[in-house]
Structure 1
Amino acid sequence: MCGNDAVSSGESGVLSVSPPKGVSIVIRRVRPDDVDAVTGLIYDLAEYEKARDECTVTPEQIRSALFGPEPSVFAHVAEEQDGTVVGVALWFRNFSTWDGVHGVYLEDLFVRPEHRGAGHGRALLAALARECVEHGYTRLSWSVLDWNEPSIGFYRSLGAVAQDEWTTFRLSGDALRELGT
């Protein structure tokens, strides 16, 4: 990804990006008509992460999470000039008990491989950083697989710092059901 992308904010949360390659990128909040594209990108991400068989999300679930009566997740998309959605950042608010304010947790960031290197990922992260700044949130956090060196290098190039002293835990499946019953 390029580090010299020019990012400017437009009306209604739309960011216009002019990367060095001359490709025009638009970053905007997700709309209901993007649900199928976003679901497809989630499946593409699962394939990239070698876990396609674990991905079972449906467009209806994504629509409900993003646009239901109480949205639990938010998203920005990257689109080409022709309106094709080529990238997504799905996120939710978290809360820091130490700072006493919200932050953004980036659940998924994915740009189709053929569109990487043109600034889409950087522009999506810039949009989330802008969300943080505009709302007074103190952090933007995410996880990355240990083997995903291209992404780790990209994140470090932006100034992100690995939180190596933390270990992520997860309860799921039978262990979750056993504890919850």
Structure 2
Amino acid sequence: MTEEAAGAGDLVIDLSIVAGDWPTEERLAAVCKRAWAAAHKVASFNFQAGSEVSVVCTNDAAVQKLNKDWRGKNKPTNVLSFPASEPVEDVYGPLLGDIVLGFETISREADDLGIEFETHVTHLIVHGILHLFDYDHQEDDEAELMERMEIEILSCLGIENPYADRPLVKDA
């Protein structure tokens, strides 16, 4: 399914549900559009008109394989981001990259956090989008900036601070 993100410039979101017990494509497309529009509103990403991002919704087995192959970590995770190219003169695109989501991990985390599944998916899509635009969390200062961006973007969507119960720190 390919959708243009309303209110976020000329972006194409290519959504694929590959495996897992995901909500419908229609619901996921709406989540992707809302996440993108809020992220773009806050961060004002500089990208080429007609740029494309791929969102792949799959299961933990597929994410574990990608995580092992690309990051050397033989375990599933909630989200992986694969930027497609470096910006040219600070302009990204036309291929922004891929965001891959793991169903079982996301579902388990949402249950553990006591939040709605789609709320957690929204957060992870925002997290993935930020990675596509070179935000990172390897160093403490980068992690703090990225988490503050996530908090501000999610706030625009009426989603509470996902880091409220802990200090801002880098991902393990």
* Structure with more of its chain in strand, by fraction: 1
Name the larger-Rg structure: 1
| TM score, norm. by length of structure 2 | 0.35
| TM score, norm. by length of structure 1 | 0.33
* Structure with more of its chain in helix, by fraction: 2
